[in-house]
Amino acid sequence: MSVCRLTSIAVLLAGMLMYGCGKRAESVTLAGSTAFAPFAEKLGSLYMAQTPGVRVAVQGGGSTVGIQAAQQGTAQIGMADLVKLPPEAEGLTAVVVARDGIAVILNPANPVANLTMDQIRGIFCGTLRNWKEVGGKDGAITLVSREAGSGTRASFEQIVGQVKLSAGALVQDSNGSIRETVASDPLAIGYLSHGLVNAKIKAVTVNDQPCTTEAVMADKYALVRPIYLLTKGSLQGAAQSFVAFILSEKGQAQIRQDGLIPAK
Do both 147 and 203 map to the same domain?
Answer: yes
The pLDDT value recorded for residue 209 is: 97
β-pairing, 18-19 vs 23-24, is antiparallel
Dump strand ranges (E) for 1-92. Answer: 18-19, 23-24, 26-32, 54-61, 77-80
Do both 85 and 187 map to the same domain?
Answer: no
DSSP assignment of 128-159: --BGGGGTS-S-B-EEEEEPTT-HHHHHHHHH
pLDDT tens across 104-157, in order?
A: 999 999 999 999 999 999 999 999 999 999 999 999 999 999 999 889 999 999
Structural domain includes residue 85: yes
Q: In this model, does residue 5 exceed pLDDT 60? A: no
pLDDT tens across 168-211, in order?
A: 999 999 989 999 999 999 999 999 998 889 999 999 999 999 99
Query: Amino acid identity of 8?
Result: S
Do both 211 and 240 map to the same domain?
Answer: no
Residue 72: exposure state from Cβ atoms within 10 A (0-12, 13-18, ≥19):
exposed
Structural domain includes residue 222: no
pTM (predicted TM-score): 0.80
Return the percentage of the chain with pLDDT > 70, whole number.
91
Do both 114 and 146 map to the same domain?
Answer: yes
User: Strand, helix or coil at 80?
Assistant: strand
Structural domain includes residue 12: yes
User: With bands split at pLDDT 50, 70 and 90, how would you rate the model's confidence at 3?
Assistant: very low
- Shortest CA distance to 227 belongs to which of 77, 116, 71? 77
Do both 210 and 197 map to the same domain?
Answer: yes
Do both 121 and 208 map to the same domain?
Answer: yes
Q: In this model, does residue 25 exceed pLDDT 90? A: no
Are 66 and 32 a contacting pair, CB within 8 Å?
yes
User: With bands split at pLDDT 50, 70 and 90, how would you rate the model's confidence at 217?
Assistant: confident
Name all contacts of 3-8 with Cβ < 8 Å and 24+ positions apart: 4/37, 4/38, 4/41, 4/60, 5/59, 5/60, 7/41, 8/41, 8/57, 8/58, 8/59
Structural domain includes residue 25: yes
Return the percentage of the chain with pLDDT > 90, whole number.
80
- Shortest CA distance to 247 belongs to which of 264, 224, 225? 264
- Number of structural domains (the chain) is 2
Q: In this model, does residue 16 exceed pLDDT 80? A: no
Range of the structural domain that residue 87 is part of: 3-97+227-262
The pLDDT value recorded for residue 23 is: 53
Strand partners, 153: none
The pLDDT value recorded for residue 24 is: 62
- State the average pLDDT for the chain: 90
Are 98 and 42 a contacting pair, CB within 8 Å?
no
Residue 22: exposure state from Cβ atoms within 10 A (0-12, 13-18, ≥19):
exposed
User: Strand, helix or coil at 199?
Assistant: coil
Structural domain includes residue 115: yes
Structural domain includes residue 10: yes
The pLDDT value recorded for residue 18 is: 37
* Average pLDDT score over residue span 65-72: 96
Do both 168 and 122 map to the same domain?
Answer: yes
Do both 92 and 43 map to the same domain?
Answer: yes
Do both 237 and 186 map to the same domain?
Answer: no
* Average pLDDT score over residue span 221-243: 95
The pLDDT value recorded for residue 234 is: 87
The pLDDT value recorded for residue 149 is: 85
Dump strand ranges (E) for the chain. Answer: 18-19, 23-24, 26-32, 54-61, 77-80, 93-106, 114-115, 142-146, 170-172, 188-193, 202-203, 205-206, 224-231, 261-262
What CATH number does residue 162 fall under?
3.40.190.10
User: With bands split at pLDDT 50, 70 and 90, how would you rate the model's confidence at 21?
Assistant: very low
pLDDT tens across 27-61, in order?
A: 999 999 988 999 999 999 999 999 999 999 999 99
Structural domain includes residue 242: yes
Helix or strand run (H / E) with residue 52: none
The pLDDT value recorded for residue 195 is: 85
Query: Amino acid identity of 212?
Result: T
Do both 36 and 137 map to the same domain?
Answer: no
Structural domain includes residue 29: yes
Do both 16 and 62 map to the same domain?
Answer: yes
Do both 144 and 156 map to the same domain?
Answer: yes
